[in-house]
Chain A
Amino acid sequence: MSTQDTNRLELLQGTLDLLILRTLIFGAQHGQGIARAIQQTSGRELLVEHGALYPALQRLEDRGWISARWGTSATNRKARFYTLTAAGRKQLAKERTKWKRLVAAIDRILGPELAGG
């Protein structure tokens, strides 16, 4: 890990799937593109371990939420492009609601920020 990565947040278990699905809503993208998009969209706050990305993509593909085919990147390189399927779109909506509820629930428990906390 490079030093610039050390202060970034590690992803919570299971959130990577949600982020991948969300990223793909803008259209087909390859793995490296997805990783970069997550990092940039999060204001470079989130750390995506590239090595963990691909088993996750494979898992989503197996479940039928995304589909994949080999294509050519903008820089004319071979890459595997992922697209959101209809089932994936539904799943995204579901995961999104779940996430929002989770965040709200945890927020309520944590309460207002305590002075000096």
Chain B
Amino acid sequence: MWQSGRRPSDFSAEIDAHIELEAERLRQEGLTEAEAAVAARRKFGNVTRAEERFYESGRWLWWDHLTQDIRFSLRNLANAPAFTAVAVLTLALGIGATTVIFSAVYAALLKPLPFANPGRLVAVWKQNPSHGWTWNNVTPAELVAWRDESGAFDDMAAFAPTSCVLTGGGEPEDDPCEQVSSNLFPLLGVSPIRGRVFSADEGRPDSARVVILSYGLWQRRFGGDDRIIGRVIEVNNLMYSVVGVMPEKLPHSYAPPDLSAPALWVAGLTLSPTRFWNDYVGIGRLKAGMSVTAAARRMDAVSARLTGQYAVLTGWNPQVMSLRREVSGDIRPALAVLMGAVFFVLLIACGNVANLLLARGVARAGEFTMRGALGATRGRVVRQLLAESLLLALAGGVAGIVVAYAGCKSLIAAAPPVLLNSAPGLATGVGDLRVLVFALATTLATTVLFGLTPALQGARPRTASARLDAGRPSLRRVPIPPARSTLIVSEVALAVIVLVGAGLMVRTLAGLNRADRGFSAAQVLTLRVSLTGDQYATPLAQEQFLERAVAGIKALPGVDAVSVSRGLPVTGWAGLLFITYDHPNPPSGNWPDANYVVVGPDYFRVMGIPLRRGRTFDGRDIEDAPKVVIVNEHLARTYWPGQNPIGKLLRVGPPASPWRSVAGVVGDVLTRGPEVGRLSEMYLPYQQYPWLMVPEHMVVHTAPGVAPASVAHAVTDAIHSADPRVPVADIEPMERIVRESAGLQRLVMNLLLAFAGLALVLSALGIFGVLAYTVSQRTREISVRAALGAPPRALLHLVCRDAALLTGAGLGIGLAAAFLLTRLMAGLLYGVNPADPLTFGAATVILGCTSLLAAFLPARQAIVADPGLALRHE
């Protein structure tokens, strides 16, 4: 019935034409001009009626009603600016916060990885249950066996994160890079924007040296050179030809989130069945239809055979998980907590808007009755209210998108790298339309449902016994309607849950900050140097450079002490097996292991690690001197309980390695964080050229009052004057490294605090709204009581009692729910029980005070009002 696009004016013109034609005919039949006109019109009948019938059959009626409804709604909303502003703001904050967090959750946990058939990609690791070691790197031998014998995989690739020093032309630089098996990119299904990926030949150890550049490196170091393919560049002092350039947006999401994206990829990782280096991260592509658990079972069978064949693989089982899960990493619980909290905030926001709409509906009961009396049909009133609700939701939605956009930007700015690496899509802004649609739909449903409730009640013909003064104060005792009390109780309950969650995170952060990590990060600057190439092929050359650099830095003003190390507290953990002379044959699969740190003299002084027994390293500990080691208290206690550890012997590395005697015992450093606790650690002097490790870190302790970051330039210059070709990377104050280690907890805490603040304000607004409403309903009752001599205290009690009851009920339910829910976030907490009484108490007090304050304002207004005035006002 709406397909006609004809305008009413056209219809009227046709009727006019008809009447003229008819009059003309009548004139021809002999009537006078005037008679003909009258007769024609009479014969036509009721013109207006015809026009109305046309109008009612067309879409114009519908359109007119719509524009009328919208105009009227806009006027209504503009006439209640406080209501409109609060409602729109509440909706905007609810929608915005939900969208931001759900975007992060979607990007980090759910969004399919941007590879070909990502559902079939798995990460392959191994575990050693007898040591409690999990997610260890794998050997090429295992990868080949799993790939070829399990029958679960189409293919398997591997990569090894490492660092590459670029020299020749420009400043030397030290970049993260990956050595990859030549089938990695085909397996993922990614292609380069220039050149090609590695060929199968280039996986062989003796093949030509080739490299693929990241877009960033190509632009930055090579100025986006158009003829980059085939160019020869110097990597780790060897010549490599560039064969490809990867696209700018190549996601690094095939790797665990704690690895940085590489600047370049080097070929040459050989998947050889006879190689047993535990250096590789494996990625497999499952056969179509193969599940991860089925694949794991088949791999177990293969490993059982391997273990029998090679002693070095004894005790190791495969560990496999979908790549999607792997990339999500450890942020799953954090995001789950945030998602829960933001969902509660959204519910509170919806509750508030519902409350506002209900209050407004009651206040407008008279208006609806009046409109009904004037002939508005029920449908017409409902439609008008629907328009009003929709407008409100629309305004809230638009404002919510703005909030979401800004929120995503600040989340990205505040997010620790581990979140950004897990959620590659997050960096591009509001990730997903579905998220926004979800939040919009929730609020839309709320506004429409609660916006219409009064309409459906108000539009009932018998409403309020057709009292036009409905909504005005009366002397009757007015209870708070049950719908509104339920909303308030729920809001308070939800707010207290979020508040408790935020409180627990505050306590966690405080605990982490307070925790004694066994070293002092203050005044310490750390940096990394990479000694590569022919000139540093010998340990002596490395030592000479490091001594020159240390001397140069030590001479700088503002520097107290300098040392070198391989491995830093917090970020570095290199667990290695060792044996003690007292127990040279530990049971297979149960070897002692410890963090293996190679240090220079003064390391303990720079890091503030206390010496407990014996001595620290000094000039005596050179290559020809007796080999020594320093252990931490935990190691000494574990392996030589009740004995003097000084002089005890231990050995690390292959059987040909020397026995080392314990020269000293130092305090425990909580390298893997306070959450993990004390572990065995050993320190070896770098000047005795210990097995495997060359120092790569330098640690600088600055004088009191000198900020570590302020000497960064001078330190870099001092290193470059020792050798200008050595790149200096990762210059960071140790305090920042410590702070960033709690980055995820800090982000969760900040967001939960923000949500708790929001929840608190919203629920306070809700209580304020309901109390203001009941007070306005009870003005007359209160005035009469006041006039009869009731003391203000009694009146205050009268009003606040409702608020106290509602808040009390909400607190009770909320605390009980929080008690059950906070257990789910135990994994994020440190140093605080999920049922921490202090946190629960504080949340109760904060919420209780806030709601009483919210109740007090309207109550006070009622009491100070002049009773006479209030009564006359009736």
- Complex CA–CA separation, A108 to B791 (angstroms): 92
A66: min CB distance to chain B, Å: 12
Contact B25 A51 (CB under 8 A): no
Residues of B within 8 A of A80 (CB): 14, 17
Residues of B within 8 A of A32 (CB): 17-18, 21-22, 25
Residues of A within 8 A of B49 (CB): 51
Residues of A within 8 A of B43 (CB): 2, 50
Chain B residues bordering chain A, tally (CB within 8 A)? 28
Given the interface contacts A2-B43, A61-B4, A62-B1, does A73 sit within 8 Å of B11 by beta carbon? no
User: Is residue B802 within 8 Å, beta carbon to beta carbon, of the partner chain?
Assistant: no
Q: Which residue of B lies closest to A55 (CB)?
A: B53
Instruction: Give the contacts of A27-48 with B (CB-CB under 8 A).
Output: 30-33, 35-36
Contact B21 A54 (CB under 8 A): no
Interface centre among A52, A55, A80 (most CB of B within 10 A): A55
Contact B50 A52 (CB under 8 A): yes
Instruction: Give the contacts of B59-101 with A (CB-CB under 8 A).
Output: none
User: Is residue A59 within 8 Å, beta carbon to beta carbon, of the partner chain?
Assistant: yes
| SS of A interface (majority) | helix
Interface centre among A32, A35, A55, A61 (most CB of B within 10 A): A32
Contact B45 A51 (CB under 8 A): yes
Residues of A within 8 A of B3 (CB): 62
Contact B11 A30 (CB under 8 A): no
A37: min CB distance to chain B, Å: 12
Q: Which residue of A lies closest to B58 (CB)?
A: A58
Of A50, A59, A77, the contact of B45 (CB 8 Å cutoff): A50
- Complex CA–CA separation, A4 to B21 (angstroms): 20
Q: Which residue of A lies closest to B47 (CB)?
A: A51
A95: min CB distance to chain B, Å: 20
Interface size range of chain A in the complex: 20 to 34
Residues of A within 8 A of B25 (CB): 32, 36
User: Is residue B438 within 8 Å, beta carbon to beta carbon, of the partner chain?
Assistant: no
Given the interface contacts A50-B44, A51-B50, A77-B24, does A58 sit within 8 Å of B18 by beta carbon? no
Residues of A within 8 A of B17 (CB): 30-32, 77-80
Q: Which residue of A lies closest to B1 (CB)?
A: A62
Contact A58 B24 (CB under 8 A): no
Q: Which residue of B lies closest to A57 (CB)?
A: B14
Contact B44 A58 (CB under 8 A): no
- Complex CA–CA separation, A59 to B2 (angstroms): 11
User: Is residue B739 within 8 Å, beta carbon to beta carbon, of the partner chain?
Assistant: no
Contact B6 A31 (CB under 8 A): no
Contact B47 A77 (CB under 8 A): no
User: Is residue B54 within 8 Å, beta carbon to beta carbon, of the partner chain?
Assistant: yes
Contact B18 A55 (CB under 8 A): no
Residues of B within 8 A of A10 (CB): none
Residues of A within 8 A of B42 (CB): 1-2
Of B4, B20, B39, B54, the contact of A54 (CB 8 Å cutoff): B54
User: Is residue A75 within 8 Å, beta carbon to beta carbon, of the partner chain?
Assistant: yes
- Complex CA–CA separation, A78 to B45 (angstroms): 21
User: Is residue B46 within 8 Å, beta carbon to beta carbon, of the partner chain?
Assistant: yes
A55: min CB distance to chain B, Å: 4
Chain B 340-382, CB-CB to A under 8 Å as 1, else 0, gives 0000000000000000000000000000000000000000000
Chain A 1-20, CB-CB to B under 8 Å as 1, else 0, gives 11000000000000000000
- Complex CA–CA separation, A55 to B54 (angstroms): 5
B771: min CB distance to chain A, Å: 56
Chain B 21-58, CB-CB to A under 8 Å as 1, else 0, gives 11011000000000000010011111101100110011
Of A2, A36, A51, A77, the contact of B44 (CB 8 Å cutoff): A51
How many pairs of A and B residues are in contact by the CB < 8 Å rule?
A: 70
Contact A59 B11 (CB under 8 A): no
Contact B57 A30 (CB under 8 A): no
User: Is residue B15 within 8 Å, beta carbon to beta carbon, of the partner chain?
Assistant: yes
Of A1, A54, A59, A75, the contact of B14 (CB 8 Å cutoff): A54
B486: min CB distance to chain A, Å: 50
Contact B45 A54 (CB under 8 A): no
A1: min CB distance to chain B, Å: 8
- Complex CA–CA separation, A50 to B47 (angstroms): 9
Q: Which residue of B lies closest to A49 (CB)?
A: B45
Instruction: Give the contacts of B796-843 with A (CB-CB under 8 A).
Output: none
- Complex CA–CA separation, A75 to B23 (angstroms): 12
Residues of B within 8 A of A1 (CB): 42
B46: min CB distance to chain A, Å: 6
Residues of B within 8 A of A51 (CB): 44-47, 49-50
Residues of A within 8 A of B13 (CB): 78
Residues of B within 8 A of A36 (CB): 25
- Complex CA–CA separation, A73 to B23 (angstroms): 14
Of B15, B50, B57, the contact of A59 (CB 8 Å cutoff): B57
Q: Which residue of A lies closest to B56 (CB)?
A: A55
Residues of B within 8 A of A59 (CB): 57
Instruction: Give the contacts of A72-111 with B (CB-CB under 8 A).
Output: 73, 75, 77-80
Q: Which residue of A lies closest to B53 (CB)?
A: A55
Given the interface contacts A49-B45, A62-B4, does A54 sit within 8 Å of B57 by beta carbon? no
B25: min CB distance to chain A, Å: 7
Interface centre among A35, A58, A77, A78 (most CB of B within 10 A): A58
Q: Which residue of A lies closest to B48 (CB)?
A: A51
B1: min CB distance to chain A, Å: 7
Contact A54 B24 (CB under 8 A): no
- Complex CA–CA separation, A80 to B11 (angstroms): 10
Residues of B within 8 A of A2 (CB): 39, 42-43
Residues of A within 8 A of B4 (CB): 58, 61-62
Residues of B within 8 A of A35 (CB): 18
Given the interface contacts A51-B47, A52-B50, A80-B14, does A58 sit within 8 Å of B21 by beta carbon? no
Residues of A within 8 A of B57 (CB): 55, 58-59, 62
- Complex CA–CA separation, A49 to B58 (angstroms): 21
Interface centre among A50, A52, A73 (most CB of B within 10 A): A50
Q: Which residue of B lies closest to A32 (CB)?
A: B21
- Complex CA–CA separation, A50 to B50 (angstroms): 9
A53: min CB distance to chain B, Å: 8
Interface centre among A30, A35, A54, A61 (most CB of B within 10 A): A54
Given the interface contacts A58-B4, A62-B3, A62-B4, does A50 sit within 8 Å of B18 by beta carbon? yes
Interface centre among B13, B15, B39 (most CB of A within 10 A): B15
- Complex CA–CA separation, A70 to B515 (angstroms): 90
B713: min CB distance to chain A, Å: 82
- Complex CA–CA separation, A91 to B14 (angstroms): 25
A113: min CB distance to chain B, Å: 34
- Complex CA–CA separation, A31 to B17 (angstroms): 9
Q: Which residue of B lies closest to A62 (CB)?
A: B4
Q: Which residue of B lies closest to A61 (CB)?
A: B4
Q: Which residue of B lies closest to A80 (CB)?
A: B14
Residues of A within 8 A of B18 (CB): 30-32, 35, 50, 54, 79
Residues of A within 8 A of B21 (CB): 30, 32-33, 73, 75, 77, 79
A73: min CB distance to chain B, Å: 6
Interface centre among B4, B6, B21, B25 (most CB of A within 10 A): B21
Residues of A within 8 A of B53 (CB): 55
Given the interface contacts A55-B54, A59-B57, does A50 sit within 8 Å of B22 by beta carbon? yes
Contact B20 A77 (CB under 8 A): yes
Contact A58 B45 (CB under 8 A): no
- Complex CA–CA separation, A62 to B53 (angstroms): 14
| CB-defined A-B contacts under 8 Å, sample of 7 | A54-B14, A58-B11, A62-B3, A62-B57, A75-B24, A78-B17, A79-B14
Chain B residues engaging chain A, CB cutoff 8 angstroms: 1, 3-4, 6, 11, 13-15, 17-18, 20-22, 24-25, 39, 42-47, 49-50, 53-54, 57-58
Chain A residues engaging chain B, CB cutoff 8 angstroms: 1-2, 30-33, 35-36, 49-52, 54-55, 58-59, 61-62, 73, 75, 77-80
Q: Closest 8 interchain pairs by CB?
A: A51-B45, A32-B21, A51-B50, A50-B44, A55-B53, A80-B14, A32-B18, A79-B17
11 more contacts with CB within 8 A, not counting A51-B46, A54-B15, A55-B53, are A35-B18, A50-B18, A51-B44, A51-B49, A54-B11, A58-B57, A58-B58, A62-B3, A75-B21, A77-B17, A77-B21
